[in-house]
Amino acid sequence: MHFFRYLIYLHDIRYKFHHLVQADEERKSHIVDEDKVMDAIEDDLEKGGLIIDWHVCDIFPERLIDLVVVLRTDNTILYDRLKKRGYTDNKVEENIDAEIMQVILDEAQEAYAEEIVIELESNDVDQMDSNVERIVAWKNQWEKDNKE
């Protein structure tokens, strides 16, 4: 199994691989062809040591994933963050509903073994800093455990 070597921030895929995305005018967002994304990054995933930042995890084969971190946020805080980013009302509502129904957490727990899915609160800067420290510690441990 593989874990962290570097960051793949999949939101940047739309800039690197223009042919993998379509515009979603209603949501003022992008629709990513997940199969094509996997084709584009699978070789890197096979090498291991990656941090993948994405809002959907079940597109990644379980054999390639060692840890899934689901960041959770209080709905009021999430609402304020999304409005500040300029999200449309529909997109804000969709995100808040997904958080309330813990869609991402449920998808992660269905797609991967229970012991590799963790949930972290991300409501304020202190929690965010703590989360980064924990993830870096896991990354460092993975690198020690998986020296080539």
pLDDT digits (tens, 9 = 90+) for 89-102: 999 999 999 999 99
For position 16, what pLDDT does the model report? 63
Query: Following DSSP, what letter does each residue of 87-144 receive, concatenated?
Result: --HHHHHHHHHHHHTTHHHHHHHHHS-GGGEEEEE-SSHHHHHHHHHHHHHHHHHHHH
pLDDT digits (tens, 9 = 90+) for 16-62: 665 556 767 776 666 777 787 788 778 888 877 778 777 777 788 88
Within-domain flag for 1: no
Encoded tokens for 112: 């991967």
3-state secondary structure of 69: strand
The half-sphere exposure of 4 on its side-chain side, counting CA atoms within 13 A, is: 18
The total number of structural domains that make up the chain: 1
Is the pTM higher than 0.75? The answer reads: yes
Look up the domain containing 18 and give its range. Answer: 6-145
Question: Given its phi and psi angles, is residue 70 left (phi above 0), alpha (psi -120 to 50 degrees) or beta?
Answer: beta
CATH code for position 79: 3.40.50.300
